[in-house]
């Protein structure tokens, strides 16, 4: 069993705003997730092939290269697959294997130590296939709180970034600006690269040249706070830099655990009470769920309940409070 985080690691996280743990679990524990994503890519590719939009599935290239070949053959098909995996306003692909990763005991032990609570809530995650030389894979400087409701700014929400390949400067791992996470949520702008939010260099709390390169081997994880500025760099390698960023918090941080619409009409509109209640969550459009509680084990969710909940939220029309409105970046010359 992987040893729990040491007090030194926990202290480092709180002082620096991040922690890289190279050996959270054996890299082989990620194989089921890789296979489940690969299976989904093949399913989507087969569908596009049947519709006559894709000539070949390129399955023989394997998980680390197949999507690039699809993209080279048809940008439209590559985009369709990536959109389906990542989701639009959230959602995206989920599977039992991804759920098993979210509730991996070694990860939950680390999260409990970092949030200082044994009751842990998991929040929406994002799958990131960063293709080689793929402009949209480059994520500009931001704090994750930029994407979350302001009421959660002063709470601790952990981003747990798990690579499915060894993440290096060459294939576009993240960069992190240390010791800058105790301040406010800095000025973000909408309309950064690939429409991501961006903190302009002049609005960063420190010189971006002081950033650390957050390389992390497969089997490890990069933990950050929601106010830790970070970005990710281009993939200059010949393979896809797959990763997922999972999110966790202590159970007393605002959340929508246990909330769901009393009813949904044919268009997916929920009752007013649901929207009122759910809008106190850090990210209302997606479900939070309890993943560890010795105090309330009966409320800890299993995969069946998780998939039911995801489907309910996916069918619910987005009548959620504006999570955050940032000004749009001025174009050059404006």
Ligand X SMILES: O=C(O)CCC(=O)C(=O)O
| Encoded tokens for 97 | 């294997």
Residue nearer to ligand X on the CB measure, 45 or 198: 198
Closer residue to ligand X, CB minimum distance, 129 or 261 = 129
CB of residue 75 to ligand X, shortest distance in Å: 20
DSSP 8-class letter at 179? T
The residue to which tokens 């993440």 are assigned: 167
Residue nearer to ligand X on the CB measure, 172 or 261:
172
Q: Counting contacts by CB under 6 A, is residue 228 touching ligand X? A: no
Instruction: Report the nearest approach of ligand X to the CB of residue 158 (Å).
Output: 11
Using the minimum distance from each CB to ligand X, give the nearer residue, 141 or 275. Answer: 141
Q: Tell me the per-residue interface mask from 256 to 285 with ligand X, x by CB under 6 A, - otherwise.
A: ------------------------------
Contact set for ligand X, span 91-130 (CB under 6 A): 128, 130
Q: Does 161 bind ligand X (CB under 6 A)?
A: yes
Give the binding-site size for ligand X (rule: CB under 6 A): 11
Q: 3-state DSSP call for residue 79?
A: helix
Q: Binder to ligand X among 145, 232, 255, 256 (CB under 6 A)? A: 232
> Do residues 24 and 133 touch, judged by C-beta distance below 8 A?
no
CB of 51 to ligand X, least distance (A): 30
Written as six digits, the tokens of 24 are: 């959270």
> Residues 144, 175, 286, 288: which binds ligand X (CB under 6 A)?
144
The rounded distance, in Å, linking the Cα atoms of 127 and 82 is 9
φ and ψ at 260, to 5 degrees? Answer: -155, 160
Reference 113, options 219, 233, 24, 22; nearest CA is 24
Minimum CB–partner distance for residue 333 and ligand X (Å): 28
Among residues 57 and 130, whose Cβ is nearest to ligand X?
130
Closest CA to 200 of 74, 290, 326, 289: 326
d(CA 164, CA 33): 8
Which residues lie closer than 8 Å to 7 by C-beta, 6 or more apart?
none
Instruction: In angstroms, give the least distance from the CB of 161 to ligand X.
Output: 5
| 8 Å CB contact between 204 and 185 | no
13/225 Cα distance (integer angstroms): 9
122 forms beta bridges with: 248, 289
Residue nearest to ligand X (CB): 232
Cβ contacts of 115 within 8 Å, gap of 6 or more? 156, 158, 248, 249, 250
Per-residue binding string, ligand X, 165-204, x by CB under 6 A, is ---------x------------------------------
Q: Residue with structure tokens 């007393």?
A: 252
Among 24, 139, 214, 323, binds ligand X (CB under 6 A): 139
CB of 193 to ligand X, least distance (A): 11
Distance CA 238, CA 132 (A): 6
Exactly one of 245, 251, 288, 291 binds ligand X (CB under 6 A); which one?
245
Closest CB to ligand X among 102 and 139?
Answer: 139
Task: Collapse the DSSP code of 140 into the 3-class scheme (helix H, G, I; strand E, B; otherwise coil) and give the result.
Answer: strand
Interaction between residue 159 and ligand X (CB under 6 A): yes
Q: Which residues contact ligand X (rule: CB under 6 A)?
A: 128, 130, 139, 144, 159, 161, 174, 230, 232, 243, 245
């Amino acid at each position: 069993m992987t040893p729990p985080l040491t007090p030194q690691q926990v202290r480092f996280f709180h002082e620096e705003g991040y922690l890289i743990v190279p050996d959270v679990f054996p890299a082989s524990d990620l194989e089921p997730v890789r296979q489940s994503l690969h299976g989904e890519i093949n399913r989507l590719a087969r569908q596009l092939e049947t519709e006559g939009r894709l000539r070949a599935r390129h399955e023989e290239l394997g998980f680390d290269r197949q999507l690039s070949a699809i993209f080279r053959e048809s940008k439209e098909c590559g985009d369709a697959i990536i959109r389906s995996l990542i989701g639009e306003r959230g959602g995206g692909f989920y599977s039992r294997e991804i759920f098993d990763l979210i509730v991996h005991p070694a990860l939950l032990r680390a999260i409990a130590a970092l949030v200082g609570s044994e009751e842990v809530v998991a929040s929406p995650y994002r799958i990131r296939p960063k293709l080689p030389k793929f402009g949209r894979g480059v994520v500009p400087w931001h704090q994750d709180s930029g994407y979350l409701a302001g009421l959660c700014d002063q709470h601790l929400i952990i981003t747990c970034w798990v690579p499915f390949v060894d993440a290096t400067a060459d294939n576009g791992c993240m960069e992190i600006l240390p010791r800058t996470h105790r301040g406010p949520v800095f000025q973000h702008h909408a309309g950064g690269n690939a429409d991501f939010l961006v903190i302009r260099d002049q609005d960063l709390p420190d010189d971006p040249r002081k950033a650390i390169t957050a390389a992390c081997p497969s089997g490890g994880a990069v933990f950050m706070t929601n106010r830790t500025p970070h970005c990710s760099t281009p993939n200059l390698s010949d393979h896809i830099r797959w990763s997922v960023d999972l999110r966790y918090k202590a159970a007393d941080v605002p959340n929508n655990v246990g909330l769901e619409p009393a009813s949904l009409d044919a268009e997916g509109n929920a009752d007013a009470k649901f929207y009122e209640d759910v809008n106190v969550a850090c990210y209302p459009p997606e479900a939070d769920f309890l993943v560890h509680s010795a105090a309330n084990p009966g409320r800890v969710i299993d995969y069946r309940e998780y998939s039911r909940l995801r489907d309910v939220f996916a069918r619910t029309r987005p009548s959620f409070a504006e999570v955050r409105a940032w000004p749009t970046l001025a174009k050059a010359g404006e």
